[in-house]
Structure 1
Amino acid sequence: MTDHDAIVLGAGAAGMMCAAVAGQRGRRVLLVDHADAPGKKILISGGGRCNFTNIHTAPDRYLSANPHFAKSALGRYTAADFSALVDRYGIAWHEKTLGQLFCDSSARQIVAMLEEECARGGVAMALGQGVSAIDHADGLYRVKIGDSEHRAPALVLATGGPSIPKLGATGFAYDVARRFGLSIVQPRPALVPLTLGPEEQLFQSLSGVSTPVEVRWNRTRFREAALFTHRGLSGPAMLQISSYWQHRTPIHVDFLPDRKGEWLIDEKRARPRATLRRVLGEALPERLADALLDRLAMQGDLGALGDRALRHAGAQLSDWAFHPSGTEGYAKAEVTVGGIATANLSSRTMEATKAPGLYAIGEAVDVTGWLGGYNFQWAWSSGWAAGQAI
């Protein structure tokens, strides 16, 4: 039996951050993961370059049953703080669109940095070993790993959610949380492609076509690229809206967000002999323009089309309703919406109010960020907060 000050379950972004911070504060930390190497989700992120944070990080970029929960952690360990850590390791990075920060070279640099931070804190690692039992008695959490038992007054759940099961992701953190009396906000796939049913098969034939759009669900809007796939809709805009979308409700797409009002009528007056197909093909990818015109059942020269018909077409193109049949599920989801309820946790320390010494951080918690580095920043911030507390 081995004693520690804290046992951290999950050697991903949040877990490594927590373990490193606690270790460098003098705590004896054991970091456990069933995978044989740490940071596997980090390695595949951002196309292998890790979109490690976003300079526009703010609490309103996160979904949670309690929209105020993330404020404390995000305010105490910021995107600038993590960027400064990256800079101290000499890792070159660049800003892409919408405040997204990526490594110039490889996500492996971020994993190596976190490994070194853990080493500086004297963190012990138990990798490639599953947890077979967890108990609590006399103020200590007992965790059985393989044939050995480890004890600590603090246990941190950092095993994420069930998204990307090919990396071994499961709902393990939820099971442990429930065992200690914590409630779970129903989890579902997020940042995930949407599927379309047979009635919208026409659009599935556009696989590979991408175009900038503004997509809306209720009052939530995102303006980014949409990508048609053989199963439905993907691309940044659709991944973003998927986190909000609810089954059996439509999403609305503005295919021409820069064309407002009666632009088709203006085009008619400027060049009446131009065909509607040509005008739309100049504004959109031709395959998409053809599919939309097929649905609108409109063809011919602009001059031969009535203003009322053109006005109707413009309105349709700016507010096209899709009725997704579902999503591509956890296998293609980048993250999970829902998880361990924030009502059970301290927003400052991430400690469970009903189970002293038990902490939950990162994706395991009901805090889910937008696409673009926000979820990594939540991992760093929540991991830092717990690491300061244990």
Structure 2
Amino acid sequence: MSNSPADFDVIVLGAGASGLFCAFTAAQRGRRVLVLERANKIGKKILMSGGGRCNFTNQVVEPGNFLSRNPHFCKSALTRYNQWEFIALVEQHGIDYEERKHSQLFCKDSAKQIVAMLEDECISAGVEIRTQCELDRLEALAGEDVQRYRLHLQHNGRAGRLTCTSLVVATGALSVPTLGGSGLGYELAEQFGLKLIPRQAGLVPFMFSDAMKPVCERLSGLALDIEVSCNGQSFSEAMLFTHRGISGPAILQISNYWSPGDHISIDLLPGVDAVDWLLQGKREQPRSRLKTRLGQLLAKGLVAELQQLWWPQDDDTALAEFSDRQLGDIGQQLNAWRLKPSATEGYRTAEVTLGGVDTDDVSSKTMEAKRQPGLFFIGEVLDVTGHLGGFNFQWAWSSGFTAGQFA
């Protein structure tokens, strides 16, 4: 590694979505840019996203799609570089894509195309990328105009030093550590006095330790459309039973609003007033059994489990023999099944990390630390978390572009 006085104008820590986007954006301005990645290849999290198809953005992106202690922080970057500009870049590279539910956009072929696009843009702009680099120590060089930061590194087992005038922290966060997630960005933020918002796993499945655990194990693999609510938020999408608990898009979404000890409410029959529907069945088919009625709208395996939970003694009882009040109680539970998860699966399977570097200490217009010139934070390391559906990638593109304009 070179130890010359000014090795690079910009060094980006992290070759993920935001880091690569920032790198070529800065290089297109004529900046000498180096990207350092601790993993053995770039874009690992991109490659596994969206089932290998990469849900790279959404056609409808609004500030309300993001969680942050400061809900206004994301607005400037999302305006500076919006979803339509990224879609245009995808089209420019000849990548076929498709729209799925809720305006989500996916590659038709492979997430590898997005990584290749980012790499091509970096190469065209003259960005240098080095993998298998570990940062040992970072120091600010006070009082020098040209080089602000000195990085002490390990690259393929060899120690070295590099200097730069702008350092961009695009290290991601704690989610999916097997794909390179780490707390390095938080450590750097603390080193320079930036505050941190408490972190927790987000977009993550729930687990149970009570009687629901064996229920979920027996139903593992069963999916159904539900509406789930918690702390004033609701999402309508699929839920999936797993051998640990419950997952699926609706559950991942609501996990961002759940805290340990909270209940969630699941509507198993969204759009159906279950009480009225059961009473109608009692009037029209009084000799039919309750599980037969429910089997018209729900999977038989799920109905069997609900029966054991809610009316275990009445397997062969005709609807006519249930009181209206009994059916009313069951109907209310169908529309509002209260469950208390014991925990989430944690960072091991979380798609994102909630919390992070406090946006009060970062300029929303440049992504630069307010009290540390030349130090930028972008992507997931910041306290900005998108809903499921391409929003976290759009935040990566938008925040990366913004920092690339000023780094």
TM-score interval w.r.t. the shorter chain?
over 0.9
2:192 aligned with 1:180, yes or no?
yes
- The answer as to 2:16 corresponding to 1:8 is no
Amino acid at match of 2:256: S
Which residue in the other structure is 2:351 paired with?
334
Name the aligned partner's letter for residue 66 of structure 1: N
- 1:255-270 alignment, distance < 5 Å: 255-260=268-273, 262-270=276-284
Counterpart of 2:272, as a letter, is R
What is the CA-CA distance between 1:202 and the residue it aligns to? 4.1
Query: What letter is aligned with 1:329?
Result: G
Q: Is 1:31 the equivalent of 2:30?
A: no
Match of 1:141 in 2: 149
Partner of 1:362: 379
Structure 1 unmatched ranges of 5 or more:
none
CA distance in 2, matches of 1:213, 1:51: 22
* Cα shift readout 1:266-307 (whole Å, capped 9, x = no counterpart): 122222222110111111111111111211115422122111
**Where in structure 2 are the equivalents of 1:57-68 lying within 5 Å?**
57-68=61-72
Alignment of 1:48-127 (within 5 A): 48-127=52-131
The percentage of aligned residue pairs carrying the same residue is 48
Structure 1: how far apart are the matches of 2:222 and 2:384?
A: 32
Residues 231 and 257, structure 2, Cα contact 8 Å, conserved in 1? no
Equivalent in the alignment of 2:252: 239
In structure 1, what residue type is equivalent to 2:280?
D
Separation in 2 of the partners of 1:295 and 1:198? 13
SS at match of 1:330: helix
- Would you say how many aligned residue pairs link Structure 1 and Structure 2? 390
More displaced 10-residue stretch of structure 1: 202-211 or 317-326: 202-211
Give the Cα–Cα distance (whole angstroms) in 2 for the partners of residues 319 and 198 of structure 1.
Answer: 19
Aligned to 2:162: 150
Letter of the aligned partner of 2:286 in structure 1?
Answer: P
1:305 and 2:319 correspond: no
Tell me how far apart the structure 1 counterparts of residues 288 and 371 of structure 2 sit (CA, whole Å): 69
Counterpart position of 1:287: 301
User: How far did residue 172 of structure 1 move?
Assistant: 0.5
The residue type paired with residue 120 of structure 1 is S
CA distance in 2, matches of 1:263, 1:246: 34
Residue 198 of structure 1 and its aligned partner are, at CA, apart by: 2.5
Inter-partner Cα distance in structure 2 for 1:253 and 1:126: 47
CA distance in 2, matches of 1:40, 1:168: 8
Aligned partner of 2:234 in structure 1 is: 221
Q: What one-letter code is carried by the residue in structure 1 that aligns with 2:83?
A: A
Tell me the distance in 1 between the aligned counterparts of 2:369 and 2:298: 51
User: Which stretch shows the higher mean deviation, 262-271 or 347-356?
Assistant: 262-271
Gaps of 5+ in 2: none
Give 1:209 shift: 1.2
Q: Which runs of 4+ in 1 moved over 4 A?
A: none
Distance 2:125 2:194 in 1: 30
Conservation of the 8 A alpha-carbon contact between 1:16 and 1:31: yes
- Aligned counterparts of 2:109 and 2:284: Cα–Cα separation in 1: 49
1:220, 1:347 → 2: CA distance?
A: 26
Is the 1:194–1:326 Cα contact (8 Å) retained in structure 2? yes
Task: Give yes or no for contact 2:11–2:166 (8 Å, CA) kept in 1.
Answer: yes
Q: Distance in 2 between matches of 1:200 and 1:89?
A: 48
SS in 1 for 2:279: helix
* Deviation sequence 1:151-209 (CA, Å, 0-9, x none): 11111000000110112211000000100000111111111110011332342221111
